[in-house]
Amino acid sequence: MVLIDVAAAGLPVSIDLRYASERNFTGRPIYARAGCYLHGAAAERLARAAALATALDLRLHVFDAYRPVEAQWALWRHTPDATFVADPRRGSPHSRGAAVDLTLAEAASGRLLPMGTDFDCFTDQAHHGRIDVSRAAQVNRLTLLGLMSAAGWDFYGKEWWHYQLFGAWRLPLFADGAAAPPLMAG
């Protein structure tokens, strides 16, 4: 399966790959090159979710998508806790091109909507269904959950930003280079 370049496909989403910058939980870039890729079925579902968001004057804002196996190892070496980081020996839906981390933004201004925590916040407040975040954050999380669910995505209960294909674990893992040029090589 060839990975789809989300930007080249023209999907109406904003892309801000946090692992291509120091703005992630490791404090350093994991990717040498920012590139947003997804398995074909995931790209189709992202396009569907983006259309639903557009109808509400919202825009999907992507933090991460395909993550090479080598990147998963880098994250695991930094934080070897399977509650927050998928064990690379098992693999991640991201390393299968079958997951996306994202939030919502206002379509006109690009302003990110409040979600109660930042992306990659490793606390209980990042879980779905929290009532100890602001009312606005609760509404925004539920809106994102509704959009993504309506577009055919599964969710991870401990991360409001993480969505994956149903059956993602059955797909093959992709090492760096599956998206050409590689994301990890400098």
CATH number at residue 154: 3.30.1380.10
- Decide if 147 is inside a domain: yes
What is the reported pLDDT for 177? 85
pTM above 0.85, yes or no: yes
- Decide if 155 is inside a domain: yes
Q: How many domains does the chain have?
A: 1
- Decide if 179 is inside a domain: no
- Decide if 160 is inside a domain: yes
Q: Is 159 designated active site?
A: yes
- Decide if 175 is inside a domain: no
What is the reported pLDDT for 179? 78
Phi/psi at 142 (nearest 5 deg)?
-65, -35
- Catalytic residue, candidates 22, 44, 70, 159: 159
- Decide if 176 is inside a domain: no
What is the reported pLDDT for 28? 96
Q: At what angle do helices 135-150 and 40-54 cross, to 10 degrees?
A: 130
What is the reported pLDDT for 61? 98
Question: Mind spelling out the 3-state secondary structure of the chain?
Answer: CCCEECCCCCCCEEECCHHHCCCCCCCCCCCCCCCCEECHHHHHHHHHHHHHHHCCCEEEEEEECCCCHHHHHHHHHHCCCCCCCCCCCCCCCHHHCCEEEEEEEECCCCCECCCCCCCCCCCHHHCCCCCCCCHHHHHHHHHHHHHHHHCCEEECCCCCCEEEECCHHHCCCCCCCCCCCCCCCC
Domain that holds residue 112: 4-170
- Decide if 125 is inside a domain: yes
What is the reported pLDDT for 1? 56
- Decide if 180 is inside a domain: no
Answer for the pair 65, 97: CB distance below 8 angstroms, yes or no: yes
CA distance 94 to 123: 21
pLDDT in tens, the chain (186 residues): 589 999 999 999 999 999 999 999 999 999 999 999 999 999 999 999 999 999 999 999 999 999 999 999 999 999 999 988 999 999 999 999 999 999 999 999 999 999 999 999 999 999 999 999 999 999 999 999 999 999 999 999 999 999 999 999 999 999 998 877 899 865
Q: Are strands 4-5 and 37-38 parallel, antiparallel or unpaired?
A: antiparallel
